[in-house]
Amino acid sequence: MHQQRKPAHAASTRSLPMVRTKTPGIYKRGNRYVVVWKHRGVQHKKSFRTMAEAREAKGRKAAGERTPTSRIGFEEYYDGWITSYAGRTARGFSDTTRTEYRRSLADHAVPRWRTWKLAEVEPSDVRELFADMAATGTTSAGIRKLRAALSVLFASAVEEDKLRTNPVAGVRIPQTSEPDDDGEDVRKALTETELALLLSELPDEWRTFFRLLAQTGMRISEAVGLTWAHVDLGERPKVKVREQVYRGKRRRLKSKNSQRDIPLSPDMAKALMARRRDSFAGANSPVFASGSGAPLNPSNVRGRVLLPATEAVGLGEYVDVEKGDKVVREWRTWVNFHVFRHTCASMLFAEGRNVKQVSRWLGHAKASFTLEVYVHLMDDGVGDASFFDGIVGPSVAGATP
């Protein structure tokens, strides 16, 4: 087939110098007009037959251009923002959150966009970053932490007139199947049989702690932060979730929705009453404490208590892991602390509680999140917790709660 040759003048035009015109960003080169612009540090050019076409193309680009007058780089803005940001509400910005934001941004966003202008980051870039993180094993909770940090960073830039829009707005978190102790994205729950087997295998002194996790659905940080001052064992027994211990530090809850009262079943109340009788060390002392009286370390509890119990009842599998020049077999389980929270939600729904009840019970910010993660809407109100005794009661006859 005869190949059509390009006109000789096309090749010769590219070798001609570009001459400025009266319109910024448009140059004359031979008998053609060239529009020049920069994107992510790389210069781009496109030529047109007439000045009118060039102006129209430049106008289209300007109309869709998000970049405002500020040309600050992403890394430069991040460096200043992460040290000076003071929060967007009266509650301020905690040092713990700053540390988490710094770690998440420095691990994922800064290396990827280090050479970009702040305004060059688009929603598609954020979406691609999240997808790559999910593909390489990052949990949804880990991606959600980065999304929160990016959203606040870009929102600050918008408020400072360095950006026109926040590129994180509207970008969804890709779903992953990886478990995460602190996240809200673990979808698997224990069945009643699995829960009973696991509770029966736990040491007597730990059974009440894990029963409480399954009955209340408290986050692990809330459970280890629970003090006797917030346990009401009166006529209508309940725990009052008012604070948490996160990474060894007692701190306020994540949001006002996390503050809630959770009813206790009669049997759970008896177990806590017995525990208070035997271990009470003051109203502000932890309900569940380490040997030194300090709040529990979740990592230690998981390794020393939960993992052996899941291994004993077969809730997991052995995998071969390379360690240096050796291959060793290790026990891996999908059961973490958040699984007890999800198990609580599943039992609540099975009992007939509606999504608003379960949302309030778990301390979710929005019922829509509960609906998305769990099941459909039913009735209103919280109700009591008596039904739990038939499911999460004493697992071994005669055992101390």
Full set of structural domains in the chain with CATH = 15-64 (no CATH), 74-159 (1.10.150.130), 192-390 (1.10.443.10)
The two tokens of residue 48 are: 């047109």
Q: Which has the minimum average pLDDT: 273-282, 357-366, 370-379?
A: 370-379
Task: Write down the mean pLDDT value for the chain.
Answer: 81
How confident is the model at residue 48, as a pLDDT? Answer: 83
More confident residue, 248 or 232: 232
Give me the mean pLDDT over the 297-318 stretch: 91
Whether 293 shows a pLDDT value over 50: the answer reads: yes
Tell how strand 238-241 and strand 231-232 pair up.
antiparallel
Give me the mean pLDDT over the 237-254 stretch: 88
Separation of alpha carbons 218 and 336, rounded Å: 13
Whether 187 shows a pLDDT value over 60: the answer reads: no
91 contact partners, CB below 8 Å, separation of at least 6 = 252
How confident is the model at residue 52, as a pLDDT? Answer: 79
Separation of alpha carbons 178 and 61, rounded Å: 41
How confident is the model at residue 383, as a pLDDT? Answer: 61
How confident is the model at residue 158, as a pLDDT? Answer: 86
Whether 220 shows a pLDDT value over 80: the answer reads: yes
How confident is the model at residue 352, as a pLDDT? Answer: 84
**How do residues 76-111 score in pLDDT, each as one tens digit?**
999 999 988 887 555 567 777 788 889 999 999 999
Separation of alpha carbons 376 and 215, rounded Å: 21
pLDDT band at 60 (very low <50, low <70, confident <90, very high): low
The percentage of the chain sitting over the pLDDT mark of 70, rounded to a whole number, equals: 81
208 contact partners, CB below 8 Å, separation of at least 6 = 271, 272, 275, 401
How confident is the model at residue 179, as a pLDDT? Answer: 43
Which residue, 158, 188, 103, 104, is CA-closest to 374?
188
pLDDT band at 268 (very low <50, low <70, confident <90, very high): very high
Give me the mean pLDDT over the 192-205 stretch: 91
Residue written as token pair 């960073």: 153
One-character DSSP codes across 200-264:
HHS-HHHHHHHHHHHHH---HHHHHT-BGGGEE-SSS-EEEE-EEEETTEEEE-SSGGG-EEEE-
How confident is the model at residue 181, as a pLDDT? Answer: 41
Q: How far does CA 354 lie from the centroid of its chain?
A: 25
Burial class (CB in 10 A: 0-12, 13-18, 19+), 208: buried
How confident is the model at residue 70, as a pLDDT? Answer: 62
Separation of alpha carbons 370 and 184, rounded Å: 10
pLDDT band at 271 (very low <50, low <70, confident <90, very high): very high
Separation of alpha carbons 248 and 242, rounded Å: 16
3-state secondary structure of 5: coil
Task: State the distance between the two ends of the chain, measured CA to CA, in whole angstroms.
Answer: 87
More confident residue, 255 or 383: 255
Residue type, 39: H
Q: Give the count of beta carbons closer than 10 Å to the beta carbon of residue 244.
A: 22
Whether 241 shows a pLDDT value over 90: the answer reads: yes
Q: Which has the minimum average pLDDT: 226-240, 298-312, 367-381?
A: 367-381
Separation of alpha carbons 277 and 1, rounded Å: 95
- Total residue count of the chain as it appears in this document: 401
More confident residue, 211 or 25: 211
Give me the mean pLDDT over the 38-43 stretch: 65
State pTM to two decimals: 0.54
Whether 14 shows a pLDDT value over 90: the answer reads: no
**How do residues 175-184 score in pLDDT, each as one tens digit?**
654 444 444 4
Whether 6 shows a pLDDT value over 80: the answer reads: no
Residue written as token pair 């009591």: 384
How confident is the model at residue 213, as a pLDDT? Answer: 96
pLDDT band at 401 (very low <50, low <70, confident <90, very high): low
Please say whether the beta carbons of 287 and 228 come within 8 A: yes
For residues 368-382, one letter each, b for 16 or more C-beta atoms within 10 angstroms of the residue's C-beta and e for the rest, the string is: eebbebbeeeeeeeb
Give me the mean pLDDT over the 41-65 stretch: 72
3-state secondary structure of 19: strand
Q: What are phi and psi of 325, to 5 degrees?
A: -100, 15
Give me the mean pLDDT over the 210-224 stretch: 94
| Bridge partners, 328 (sequence order) | 321
3-state secondary structure of 74: helix
Whether 335 shows a pLDDT value over 80: the answer reads: yes
The two tokens of residue 49 are: 């037959």
More confident residue, 343 or 13: 343
How confident is the model at residue 35, as a pLDDT? Answer: 84
More confident residue, 68 or 269: 269
